[in-house]
């Protein structure tokens, strides 16, 4: 009985204990994209800034996205969901480091129409436009929640028009374009190249959401399950997972 202490770490006062162990960041089913990006900043911003460069984070986006595509090939939906969710969180970390408000960029890129043919549903195959069409943006139609954005993309790009495998290939293609855009920006450091990064990441997210639409899976609901209590692994905020653990994480 002499060794008993009410707190796991004897150096922790009651107030510090409560702060360290009861502080909780979580994602709700009705989360907005902006709030999800803020959640990632709250939980992962500190370790990301200390341990990972933009290239490191892009590498992790690619790493887990490819594992998600492997899940498609193996017809393992749980593996696909799990890895694409982790890839999405790394992508949000990259966006936070680059100070990109991706919800705003998504809406500007896809104002309830295809970013290329400006139709809903997309009619690129029928119209074969030679250049991107511009349309007035009707903010009254702007989705409010992450689920609303997923519904919007379902209407623009109906999942019935393509297979899950096709959606996965398109996702991989857009990931390559993001990598090229970031490489170009790191070479030029100019505003035009940076703007192209935001556009390519918006395209990537539209395709990522498209994969979830092809699986008939509510991405926001999966995020709320995955991130119900801070970091999905250590359950702390900020995340306390070690660098070695992260780089060797199996999924």
pLDDT tens for 70-79 read 999 999 999 9
Averaged confidence pLDDT in the chain: 92
Q: What is the pLDDT of residue 8?
A: 41
Q: What is the pLDDT of residues 37-73, one digit of tens each?
A: 999 999 999 999 999 999 999 999 999 999 999 999 9
Q: Is the pLDDT of residue 7 over 70?
A: no
Q: Is the pLDDT of residue 190 over 80?
A: yes
Tokens at 220, concatenated: 């926001």
Q: Cα–chain-centroid distance for residue 149? A: 13
Mean pLDDT (whole number) for 116-139: 90
Mean pLDDT (whole number) for 124-131: 88
Q: Cα–chain-centroid distance for residue 78? A: 17
Cα separation of 78 and 23, whole Å?
29
Which helix (H) or strand (E) covers residue 212, if one does?
helix 191-214
Percent of the chain past pLDDT 70, that is, above it, reads: 91
Q: Is the pLDDT of residue 112 over 80?
A: yes
C-beta contacts of 32-36 below 8 A and 24+ residues apart: 32/103, 32/144, 32/145, 32/146, 33/102, 33/103, 33/106, 33/146, 33/149, 34/101, 34/103, 36/92, 36/146, 36/223
Tokens at 159, concatenated: 């999942």
Closest CA to 198 of 114, 107, 121: 107
Q: Is the pLDDT of residue 179 over 80?
A: yes
**Model's pTM, two decimal places?**
0.89
Q: What is the pLDDT of residue 19?
A: 47
- The distance in angstroms from the start CA to the end CA of the chain is 42
Cis peptide before 238 (omega within 30 of 0): yes
Torsion sign across C-alpha atoms 144, 150, 155, 156: positive
Q: How many residues does the chain have?
A: 251
């Amino acid at each position: 009985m002499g060794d008993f202490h009410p707190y796991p770490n004897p150096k922790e006062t009651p107030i510090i204990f409560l702060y360290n162990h009861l502080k909780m960041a979580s994602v709700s089913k009705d989360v907005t994209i902006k709030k999800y990006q803020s959640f990632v900043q709250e939980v992962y911003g500190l370790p990301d800034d200390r341990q990972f460069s933009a290239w490191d984070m892009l590498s992790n986006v690619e790493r887990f996205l490819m594992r998600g595509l492997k899940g498609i090939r193996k017809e393992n939906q749980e593996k696909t969901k799990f890895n694409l969710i982790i890839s999405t969180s790394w992508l949000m970390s990259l966006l936070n480091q680059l100070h990109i408000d991706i919800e705003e960029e998504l809406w500007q890129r896809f104002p309830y129409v295809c970013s290329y043919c400006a139709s809903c549903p997309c009619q690129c195959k029928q119209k074969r436009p030679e250049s991107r069409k511009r349309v007035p943006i009707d903010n009254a139609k702007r989705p409010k929640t992450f689920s609303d954005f997923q519904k919007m993309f379902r209407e623009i790009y109906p999942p019935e028009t393509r297979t899950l495998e096709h959606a996965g290939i398109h996702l991989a293609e857009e990931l390559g374009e993001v990598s090229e855009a970031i490489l170009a920006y790191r070479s030029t450091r100019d505003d035009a190249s940076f703007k192209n990064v935001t556009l390519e990441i918006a395209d990537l997210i539209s395709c990522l959401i498209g994969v979830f639409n092809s699986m008939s899976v509510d991405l926001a609901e999966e995020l709320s399950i995955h991130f119900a209590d801070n970091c999905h692994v250590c359950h702390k905020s900020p995340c306390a997972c070690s660098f070695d653990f992260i780089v060797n994480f199996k999924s």
